[in-house]
Amino acid sequence: MTAAGQARIREVFARARDEHRAALIGYLPAGYPSVAAATDAMAAMVDAGVDLVEVGLPYSDPLMDGPVIQQAVDAALRAGTTTADVLGTVESLAARGIPSLVMSYWNPIEHYGAARFATDLATAGGLGVITPDLIPDEADDWLSAARSQGLGTVFLVAPSSTDQRLARTAHACRGFVYAASTMGVTGARQEVGSAARLLVERTRQVTDLPVAVGLGVSNGEQAAQVAAFADGVIVGSALVRCLLDDSSQPDRLASVAALVADLARGVRRPLPR
């Protein structure tokens, strides 16, 4: 098995680098407002400028997610969204030529079976998994399963990470490193703190992998700020909020597309890097 997923992730960041910009990564949970509607929203994100999609696997105890994502995830679970639906979403995206990773807490993967999940995700065309609550020290089973299928393994570093922890985490990553811009739960913020820049600088001292920053970006101006020092800009809550209102699905998709267009202009803004 070749490292197909890892290679595709590298291609996404390499293409953005060749265009002298940061990659734009967008998150939406599978199954909200329905499985089909979520897939269409993810496709709309890519049409508007997202380079890589994070497909959220709905989980009943999303401790690191803020209220916006929790509301959507809870609705998806109440509608009966399953892990199989998440894999089906990935497969649908792959059929459209859209690169995606799964964002999942560890418990659903462990319950499904690490080896089985890695195999089924690779078969569906997924590129890897972001595991926000799993640390490399406790990830031997997952690392073995994922790498046997060529999947990317993306772990989180935070401003509080010690130098030793940061190096260990970055070493376990395949694809890119997820730098959490601040401590706390996900959610759009008025500004992205200066801690994110320092965290990216520290991470680059221990890895050659791209470093993408998430937690807090909600508009093009903030995206431009992060793109000035990071290899990727990750947006979640602001996109999910576009789907939470009571408008029609076409209006929701238009709202998603408009926000992504603003974000895409931001990561392309010629700021010093």
Is 262 noted as a catalytic residue in this protein?
no
E strands, 46-146, are: 52-56, 100-103, 128-130
Residue-wise pLDDT tens digits, 199-238: 999 999 999 999 999 988 999 999 999 999 999 999 999 9
SS3 of residue 218 by DSSP: coil
Comparing 240 with 272, which gets the higher pLDDT?
240
Burial of 159 (0-12, 13-18, 19+ CB in 10 A): middle
Find the catalytic residue in 51, 54, 120, 231: 54
Give CA–CA dist 178/264, Å, rounded.
19
Asked if 151 contacts 122 with a C-beta cutoff of 8 angstroms, the reply is yes
Give CA–CA dist 56/93, Å, rounded.
13
Give CA–CA dist 257/251, Å, rounded.
10
* The one-letter amino acid at 106: W
Number of other CB atoms surrounding residue 164 within 10 Å? 9
Give the chain's mean pLDDT: 93
| Residue 240 in tokens | 């999910």
The domains found in the chain, sorted by start residue, are 4-267 (3.20.20.70)
Kindly report the pTM of this predicted structure: 0.93
Asked if 6 contacts 56 with a C-beta cutoff of 8 angstroms, the reply is no
Asked if 212 contacts 25 with a C-beta cutoff of 8 angstroms, the reply is yes
Residue-wise pLDDT tens digits, 157-196: 999 999 999 999 999 999 999 999 864 444 444 455 578 9
Averaged over 238-258, what is the pLDDT? 92
Find the catalytic residue in 40, 47, 61, 65: 65
Is 19 noted as a catalytic residue in this protein?
no
